[in-house]
Amino acid sequence: MRKIALLESGELQLQTDASSVDMQSGMVRVQVKACGICGSDLALVNGTRDRSRELYFGHEFSGVVMEAAPDSCDFRPGMRVASELTKTCGRCWNCRNGMPNYCRSMNDALLPGGFAEETLVRSTEDYCFLSPIPDTLDDITASLMEPTNCAYHIAMQAAIKPGDNVVVFGLGAMGMITAIILKRLGAGALVCVDQNPNRQESARCTGICDAVVGNDEDGKNVIRTICGEKGPDVVVEATGAHQVLVDAMEIVRPGGRIVAAGVYHGTIKEFDPLPIFRKELTIVGAKGPTLHLRTDGSSATVFMMEQIRDDLKKIVHVYPYKDALKAFEDARSGKAIKAVITF
């Protein structure tokens, strides 16, 4: 089995003779077709995320079910699937209080993860991290199901009204997919902000945003011109950079809403919370993935992906397994908005 291994030193290694993992209770075995690189994967490689607390590597994948344990449910060999949180226990404190995304850790859901030709994925009555793929979605696009699930949660937390002007800070995959969804949900003007020239150029080429600017005074002037002097109605902060959260508080209009969708490390020194009071801001977090189900029990994420699949294809850069290390380099540099590795 081929596998991308994260070594203790933080280095990546392509392993062509890795052994398959033995079947475990409540699991299904998935033959991975494609796996995307998440910002959290890069954090593991860079050492800014504690590797000892993560037992899997790669969680944005699509594939085909090869085998199902007798006590697993919902999936059978031959079914096309992709990673997405679709079922939680419904009984724990988190589930009962409207936070199913905290039901349990993905450490218990994936082994060894999507950066391998095969991975085990939990599928039980109490927890499932798989969703069926409809014929309308190819394997590459379907590998974006988990990040689209997270972006859908961000969009729900943004709670926009049709015509609301929106600014998205951060043009990685999470920021771009969120922007695509918000546009679909009726956002008025949509301005996307990033400091990385590679990401700026990639975002402009998609034609998704009304404007792509840097996070500087010129960029803020463009935002004021497009969204009005008072600022945008909603700001999504998807960089995880402390200063950008401060910038979001500055640029959003009085009474506006900020969604903190980045993963922050450390604390903000000399943080001034006064704008929260003076401007009566609403600031909410968005931690995905979470359950997004339609009333018939099907995935709302899949439904949304079918509506935006053409735009999703614009942000994907595909790399065969042999070029996996290059994929990580391009994801880190911003040359690839969403790098997807195929097996």
H or E element that contains 242: helix 242-251
Cα distances from 61 to residues 125, 130, 216, 254, 278, in angstroms, run 22, 10, 36, 40, 44
Is residue 47 very low, low, confident or very high in pLDDT (cuts 50, 70, 90)? confident
| 125 token code pair | 């009555």
pLDDT in tens, 280-318: 999 999 998 999 999 999 999 999 999 999 999 999 999
pLDDT in tens, 112-122: 999 999 999 99
Tell me which of 19 and 53 has the higher pLDDT.
19
Instruction: Summarize the confidence of residues 251-259 as an average pLDDT.
Output: 98
DSSP lists the bridge partners of residue 32 as: 63
Looking at residue 246, what is its pLDDT? 95
Looking at residue 194, what is its pLDDT? 97
Residue listed under structure tokens 């590679």: 198
Looking at residue 9, what is its pLDDT? 67
Contact 170, 195 (CB under 8 A): no
Give yes or no for residue 7 having a pLDDT over 80.
yes
Instruction: Summarize the confidence of residues 223-233 as an average pLDDT.
Output: 97
Q: How far apart are CA 291 and CA 307, in angstroms?
A: 19
Tell me which of 265 and 195 has the higher pLDDT.
195
